[in-house]
């Protein structure tokens, strides 16, 4: 399965590996306001809370993260996920 749902608040958006590089890109394409800058895992501005589900990082995040925080610029879902903007 290459397409997954991303739930946040009352919205449901779709991540498709054919069209999206990372979760940040899907959030931006759906006009969901989220900060970002480096898009390399340094700055931490694109972090969200992962409330349910699993993601896969392309490489190890450099920004400091608390438990359940993920960097959307360097990961993609591996199943349906529930997130909350920090
Ligand atoms: S945009 Fe900087 S860590 Fe994601």
What domains, with CATH codes, occur in the chain? Answer: 3-85 (3.10.20.30)
Give residue-wise pLDDT tens across range 24-63. 999 999 999 999 999 999 999 999 999 999 999 999 999 9
Atom nearest to 37 CA in ligand 1? 1
Q: What 3-state class would DSSP assign to 35?
A: coil
Q: What 3-state class would DSSP assign to 12?
A: strand
Q: How far is the CA of 72 from the centre of ligand 1 (A)?
A: 7
Q: How far is the CA of 70 from the centre of ligand 1 (A)?
A: 10
pTM of the model: 0.94
> If phi over 0 gives left and psi between -120 and 50 gives alpha, with beta otherwise, what is residue 29?
alpha
């Amino acid at each position: 399965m290459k397409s997954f749902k991303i739930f946040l608040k009352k919205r449901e958006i779709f991540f498709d590996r054919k069209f999206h590089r990372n979760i940040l890109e899907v959030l931006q394409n759906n006009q969901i306001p989220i900060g970002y800058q480096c898009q390399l895992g340094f700055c931490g501005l694109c972090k969200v809370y992962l409330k349910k589900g699993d993601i896969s990082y392309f490489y190890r995040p450099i920004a400091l993260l608390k438990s359940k925080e993920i960097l959307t610029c360097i990961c993609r879902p591996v199943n349906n996920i529930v997130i909350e903007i920090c």
